[in-house]
């Protein structure tokens, strides 16, 4: 049990430190064959830079614009507000059709919501790692419980991030853009830093859950042993 206590005091410090450091390394990478085009760190999401922001400023965006004649993520076409005779579509009130403007506004709102969502998903595990690191230096009797709670929350949020990235509309649009300049050339992958952070959260969860189980098992064995000794001596008295 002494060895278990020593490990429980030492393990969280490097684990949470590694997790925090991982946030400054790529959580998402976009490659063309083996060449990295764009990488997004966990901290990028925290400061509000998402995949779209990074892509729009990348060399890949310039290449796609040159080869395909349109900007990244731009789904608006020249004929959206033009009738068959080449004139703008006008409503009964004499105003040009505003369908595209409403679509653009909706898209902008969705993008803002997505940024806020990814911000929360990244801030929470980072905050959990910071709190876990702080609690590691305290003498609280409930440290093990805190570590389990913090690591579980961090692990769940990082897992949710991975699932959301795989089903992200922006990611799918990047892939479809890539088909236009060379099918199968562009690949989108979760970065190594993401997997390392997720694994370290899982290690902390598993260790402290096991330590708590062993501690409770040890207490039960001690109690049974004490009860057996008491019963033995009580029989001898008779």
| 188-231 pLDDT tens trace | 889 999 999 999 999 999 999 998 888 777 676 676 766 666 66
Using left for φ > 0, alpha for ψ between -120 and 50, and beta otherwise, residue 70 falls in beta
Q: What is the CA radius of gyration of the chain?
A: 28
Among the ranges given (21-25, 125-129, 221-225), the one the predictor scored with the smallest mean pLDDT: 221-225
What is the Cα 191 distance to its own chain's centre?
11
DSSP letter string, 89-105:
PB-TTSPBP-HHHHHHH
DSSP 88: B
Express as a percent the part of the chain with pLDDT over 90. Answer: 32
194 contacts 42 by C-beta, under 8 angstroms: yes
Tokens coding 217 = 């098992």
**Pick from 135, 234, 154: nearest CA to 201:** 154
Tokens coding 47 = 């400061």
DSSP 69: S
Model confidence pLDDT, tens digit, residues 57-103: 666 666 656 665 555 555 454 444 444 454 544 445 544 444 444 44
Residue 208: count other Cβ atoms within 10 Å of its Cβ: 23
β-strand partners of 38: 30
pLDDT of 1 reads 63
Tokens coding 16 = 């949470």
């Amino acid at each position: 049990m002494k060895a278990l206590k020593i490990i429980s005091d030492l393990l969280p410090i490097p684990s949470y430190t590694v997790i925090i450091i991982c946030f400054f390394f790529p959580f998402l990478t976009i490659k063309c064959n083996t060449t990295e085009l764009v990488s997004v760190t966990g901290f990028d999401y925290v400061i509000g830079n998402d995949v779209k922001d990074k892509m729009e400023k990348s060399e890949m965006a310039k290449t796609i614009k040159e080869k395909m004649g349109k900007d990244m993520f731009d789904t608006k076409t020249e004929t959206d507000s033009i009738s068959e005779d080449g004139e703008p579509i006008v409503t009964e009130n004499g105003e040009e059709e505003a369908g595209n403007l409403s679509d653009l506004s909706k898209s902008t709102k969705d993008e803002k919501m997505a940024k806020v969502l990814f911000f929360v998903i990244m801030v929470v595990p980072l905050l959990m790692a910071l709190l876990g690191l702080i609690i590691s230096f305290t003498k609280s009797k409930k440290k093990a419980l805190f570590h389990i709670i913090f690591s579980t929350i961090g692990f769940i949020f990082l897992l949710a991030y991975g699932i959301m990235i795989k089903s992200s509309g922006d990611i799918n649009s990047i892939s479809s853009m890539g088909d236009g300049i060379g099918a199968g050339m562009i690949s989108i992958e979760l970065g190594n830093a993401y997997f390392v952070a997720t694994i370290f959260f899982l290690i902390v969860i598993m260790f402290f859950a096991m330590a708590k189980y062993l501690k409770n098992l040890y207490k039960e064995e001690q109690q049974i042993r004490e009860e057996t000794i008491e019963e033995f001596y009580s029989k001898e008295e008779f």
